[in-house]
């Protein structure tokens, strides 16, 4: 988890929503010990707002994408 940096696009299992696959942009750690992170996430499901800031538990991250400099 220490390799995750602000701006990384993470793919993870969202345990709060049917253990579904999800992706979002990492903003910051809210509680590193508990692996709670603030993320910028696409809402989907026909919602009026395209994205939102939300906390996710990142215990099951399976891919990290980062822009090369």
pLDDT tens-digit readout, 9-67: 999 999 887 888 999 999 999 999 999 999 999 877 777 877 889 999 999 999 999 98
Phi first, then psi: give them for residue 2, nearest 5 degrees: -70, -20
CB 9 within 8 A of CB 22: no
Cα angle for residues 32, 20, 64 (degrees, 5° grid): 50
Position 15 in a domain: yes
pTM listed for this prediction: 0.85
**Which one has a higher pLDDT value, 4 or 43?**
4
Domain that holds residue 61: 9-65
How many domains is the chain partitioned into structurally?
Answer: 1
CB 55 within 8 A of CB 36: yes
- The pLDDT value recorded for residue 4 is 97
Task: For residues 56 and 67, give the distance between their C-alpha atoms in angstroms, rounded to a whole number.
Answer: 22
Position 27 in a domain: yes
Position 25 in a domain: yes
- The pLDDT value recorded for residue 28 is 98
């Amino acid at each position: 988890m220490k390799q995750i940096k602000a701006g990384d696009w993470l793919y993870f299992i969202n345990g709060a929503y049917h253990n579904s696959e999800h992706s979002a942009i990492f903003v910051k750690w809210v509680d590193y010990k508990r692996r709670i992170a603030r993320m910028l996430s696409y809402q989907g499901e026909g919602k009026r707002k395209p994205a939102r800031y939300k906390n996710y538990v990142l215990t099951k991250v399976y891919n990290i994408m980062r822009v090369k400099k």
